[in-house]
Amino acid sequence: MRHVISILMENEAGALSRVAGLFSARGYNIESLTVAPTEDGSMSRMTIVTSGSEEIIEQITKQLNKLIDVIKLVDLSEDEHIEREMALVKVKAVGEAREEYKRLADIFSGRILDVTDTTYTIELTDSGDRIVEFIAAINADEIIETVRSGVSGIARGEKSLYP
């Protein structure tokens, strides 16, 4: 099953490689991984999307907790939470397609960030599923490239990872 694990960790050199190394050394899956410093520059917030049996997810959270740089973590999928991901999609936009992709971007609440005579670059921020749907709605031949940020997640309500 798919799980979204949110980690608060020390913003130290090498902390990311400890997490990435743990996943590769123990053969766990990483579907996506995002990381950036928090408003408190001494800490980073990481969101990892992974999958595995309940036993494997339990081991993943325990092993992550064991890393000295990890301050706290939570498996967001255990409770109500919000997930968002950003995608940048560059498409060929000539002739009728120009109007069509404009409409499609509107339907998906996307924004066209860059326009040339022959291309659009569309930004979409939504759930991973919606992004997949959006990309599927575009003619594959007309996609020049896509860049996805990976999932960022946060719990609903008052809950927070801060100690």
Partner 1 sequence: MELTGAEILVRSLKEEGVTHLFGYPGGAVLHIYDALYQQDDVKHILVRHEQAATHAADGYARSTGKPGVALVTSGPGATNAVTGIATAFMDSIPMVVITGQVPTNMIGNDAFQEVDSIGITRPCVKHNFLVKDVAELAETIKKAFYIATTGRPGPVVIDIPKDVTAEKAEFKYPDTVSIRSYNPVVTGHIGQIKRAVAMMLAAERPIFYTGGGVILGRGAAELTELAQMLGYPVTNTLMGLGAYPATDKQFVGMLGMHGTYEANMSMHHCDVLIAIGARFDDRVTGNIEKFCPSAKIIHVDIDPSSISKNVKVDVPIVGSVPNVLQEMIKLLKAGDKKPDAKALASWWNQIEEWRAVDCLKYDHDSGQVKPQQVIESLYKATHGDAFVTSDVGQHQMWAAQYYKFDKPYRWINSGGLGTMGFGLPAAMGVQFAHPDATVACVTGEGSIQMCIQELSTCLQYGLPIKIIALNNRYLGMVRQWQEFFYKRRYAMSYMEALPDFVKLAESYGHVGMRIDNPADVDGAMEEAMKLKDRLVFMDFVTDQEENVYPMIPAGAGLNEMILV
User: Which stretches of the chain bind partner 1, using CB under 8 A?
Assistant: 9-10, 13-14, 17-18, 21, 25, 55, 58-59, 62-63, 65-66, 68-72, 163
To partner 1, the closest distance from the beta carbon of 125 in angstroms equals: 31
Rounded-to-5 percentages of helix, strand, coil across the chain? 30, 40, 30
Looking at beta carbons only, is 62 or 140 nearer to partner 1? 62
Q: Which helix (H) or strand (E) holds 25?
A: helix 15-25
**Residue 152 C-beta: closest distance to partner 1, Å:** 21
Q: Is the dihedral of CA 47, 51, 57, 59 positive or negative?
A: negative
Nearer to partner 1, 53 or 116 (CB): 53
- CB closer to partner 1 out of 29 and 65: 65
The whole-angstrom separation of Cα 82 and Cα 79 is 10
Cβ 11 to partner 1, closest distance in Å?
A: 11
Q: Is 163 helix (H, G, I), strand (E, B) or coil?
A: coil
User: Please, which residue, 71 or 154, has the CB nearer to partner 1?
Assistant: 71
Using CA atoms, how far apart are residues 46 and 55, in angstroms rounded to an integer? 22
CB of 35 to partner 1, least distance (A): 15
Say if residue 132 is exposed, middle or buried (CB neighbours under 10 Å; 0-12, 13-18, 19+).
middle
